[in-house]
């Protein structure tokens, strides 16, 4: 099946989430913004799709030469080729682009063979328990503005069926942030209302120092948390070795650190984390995420997948022991997460009343793409 066409369409939609000056999402008045869809076509008439933008110049110069005319099943060869091309081009050919290409190729393979991606990978399960993953704290009245507000939202999430809860607490530029004591107060308030048996996690400010992180870890041990992630800049692996050595609380990471499977291997080797972390968007696609899952399994470690979406869900459903939960969110009292994105006919991560997210049985990634919506709202294509 030869690749005959590679294109990107960019379209508008109305978003109810805005980004603060540090890039964290919060509820916001409706605003028009854009999304992109990559399409890879083949000589057999089958196409694969993935959402995410690739600039026209990068598509022409770096991506197309590796794809056009090639057998679309050679995903590993294409991924390795893109990875090598990143040397000297990392500023434009980043891992998000590798993710889009790789996910579109997996979608294409599934559509061509009439199977969902998780079955191509080697299925292990059809559903995964979710945890409610909150947005970062804010200063919106009735939002996530106080420890009590987190507690009230956690109660709502438990009623909705979530079996576990992760707080993203306050980060600059929210007034008063960062503040480890306030983070602990929010964690304690949630523990109080959900009771002792609900698994809980914390993802605080990502640039605390060693002392603040140790303080947080010790307090979370008292509250019987399941893990803490990214309390410090992940580029300092030594800081994580220092922290993990002193805590019984599992540290989960690295999440956003660059370096794909190589960085995860180094963290495992140096005991910098107790639980391995990575998602399709952090690592450069399904292909490297599977490598990291196998790496974690081989070291007898769990791997918690970062972020939601169809591609992460398919990998989770093909992983054996390493992955406990699907990260569902980011959630907020003012945001209706259970309404599909405007460009999809259905949710890509539907959750039942018992807190299980079910993977699609449709071929490929199984996203029900509303192509009419995309055409109606098209801005540009290349
Ligand atoms: O800082 C944020 O906005 C969130 O932490 C975000 O990066 C989220 O994806 C995350 O870390 N989830 O675990
Ligand atoms: Mg995180």
Q: Is the pLDDT of residue 321 over 90?
A: no
> From 3.30.390.10, 3.40.50.1820, 3.30.420.40, 3.40.50.10150, which CATH number describes the 3-114+370-381 domain?
3.30.390.10
- On the question of a common fold for 3-114+370-381 and 119-358, the answer reads no
d(CA 48, CA 71): 13
For residue 114, the CA-to-ligand 1 centroid distance in Å is: 34
Question: Rounded to 5 degrees, what are φ and ψ at 351?
Answer: -115, 130
pLDDT digits (tens, 9 = 90+) for 198-224: 999 999 999 999 999 999 999 999 999
Place 331 in a pLDDT band, splitting at 50, 70 and 90.
Answer: very high
**Per-residue burial over 300-323, b = 16 or more CB atoms within 10 Å of its CB, e = otherwise:** ebbbbbbbbbbbbbbbbbbbeebb
β 200-203/165-168 pair status: parallel
Alpha carbon distances (Å) from 90 to 68, 97, 259: 22, 10, 11
Average pLDDT value over all residues in the chain: 97
Domain boundaries, the chain: 3-114+370-381, 119-358
For residue 99, the CA-to-ligand 2 centroid distance in Å is: 18
Q: Is the pLDDT of residue 363 over 80?
A: yes
Ligand 1 neighbourhood includes 24 CB (under 6 angstroms): yes
Please, what is the Cα angle at 103 between 310 and 33, to 5 degrees? 70
Closest ligand, as measured to the CA of 134: 1
Ligand 1 neighbourhood includes 307 CB (under 6 angstroms): yes
Q: Which atom of ligand 1 is closest in space to residue 171's alpha carbon?
A: 1
Ligand 1 neighbourhood includes 306 CB (under 6 angstroms): yes
Alpha carbon distances (Å) from 220 to 54, 150, 157, 186, 289: 41, 16, 21, 11, 29
Whether this model's pTM surpasses 0.85: yes
d(CA 365, CA 48): 9
pLDDT digits (tens, 9 = 90+) for 341-354: 999 999 999 999 99
The pLDDT value recorded for residue 323 is 74
d(CA 224, CA 149): 21
d(CA 205, CA 186): 13
Query: What is the percentage of the chain residues whose pLDDT exceeds 90?
Result: 99
Question: Rounded to 5 degrees, what are φ and ψ at 193?
Answer: -85, -30
Burial of 21 (0-12, 13-18, 19+ CB in 10 A): exposed
For residue 17, the CA-to-ligand 1 centroid distance in Å is: 14
pLDDT digits (tens, 9 = 90+) for 111-159: 999 999 999 999 999 999 999 999 999 999 999 999 999 999 999 999 9
Radius of gyration of the chain (CA): 21
The pLDDT value recorded for residue 26 is 97
> Distance from CA of residue 175 to its chain's centroid?
27
Ligand 1 neighbourhood includes 328 CB (under 6 angstroms): no
Ligand 1 neighbourhood includes 111 CB (under 6 angstroms): no
Q: What is the mean pLDDT of residues 81-94?
A: 95
The pLDDT value recorded for residue 8 is 98
Closest ligand, as measured to the CA of 170: 1
Going by alpha carbons, the residue nearest to atom 2 of ligand 1 is 24
Q: What is the mean pLDDT of residues 80-86?
A: 98
Q: Where are the beta strands (DSSP E) in 92-179?
A: 127-134, 165-168
pLDDT digits (tens, 9 = 90+) for 253-293: 999 999 999 999 999 999 999 999 999 999 999 999 999 99
The architecture that CATH gives domain 119-358 is Alpha-Beta Barrel (3.20)
């Amino acid at each position: 099946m030869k690749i005959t066409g590679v294109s990107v369409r960019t379209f508008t939609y109305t978003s109810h989430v805005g980004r603060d000056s540090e890039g964290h999402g919060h509820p916001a008045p409706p605003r028009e913004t854009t999304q992109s869809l990559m399409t890879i076509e083949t000589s057999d008439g089958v196409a694969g799709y993935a959402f995410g933008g690739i600039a026209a110049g990068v598509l022409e110069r770096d991506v197309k030469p590796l794809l056009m005319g090639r057998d679309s099943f050679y995903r590993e060869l294409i991924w390795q080729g893109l990875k090598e091309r990143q040397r000297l081009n990392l500023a434009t050919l980043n891992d998000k682009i590798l993710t889009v290409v790789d996910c579109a190729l997996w979608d294409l393979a599934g559509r061509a063979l009439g199977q969902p991606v998780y079955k191509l990978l080697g299925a292990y399960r059809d559903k995964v328990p979710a945890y409610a993953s909150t947005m970062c704290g804010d200063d919106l009245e009735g939002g996530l503005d106080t420890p009590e507000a987190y507690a009230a939202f956690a109660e709502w999430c438990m009623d909705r069926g979530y079996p576990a809860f992760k707080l993203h607490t306050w980060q600059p530029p929210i007034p008063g942030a960062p503040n480890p004591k306030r983070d602990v107060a929010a964690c304690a308030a949630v523990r109080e209302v959900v009771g002792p048996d609900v698994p809980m996690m914390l993802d605080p400010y990502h640039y605390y120092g060693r002392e603040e992180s140790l303080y947080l870890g010790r307090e979370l041990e008292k509250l019987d948390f399941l893990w803490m992630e990214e309390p410090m800049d992940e580029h300092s692996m030594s800081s994580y070795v220092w922290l993990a050595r002193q805590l019984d609380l599992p540290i989960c990471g690295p999440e956003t650190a660059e370096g794909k499977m190589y960085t995860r291997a180094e963290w495992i080797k140096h005991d910098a984390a107790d639980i391995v972390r990575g998602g399709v968007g952090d690592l450069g696609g399904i292909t490297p995420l599977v490598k990291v899952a196998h790496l974690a399994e081989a070291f007898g470690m769990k791997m918690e997948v970062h972020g939601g979406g169809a591609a992460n869900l398919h990998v989770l459903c093909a992983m054996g022991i390493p992955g406990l939960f699907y990260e569902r969110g980011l959630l907020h009292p003012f945001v209706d997460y259970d309404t599909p994105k405007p460009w999809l006919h259905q949710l890509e991560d539907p959750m039942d009343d018992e807190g299980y997210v079910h993977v699609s049985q449709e071929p490929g990634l199984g996203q029900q793409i509303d192509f009419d919506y995309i055409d109606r709202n098209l801005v540009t294509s290349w």
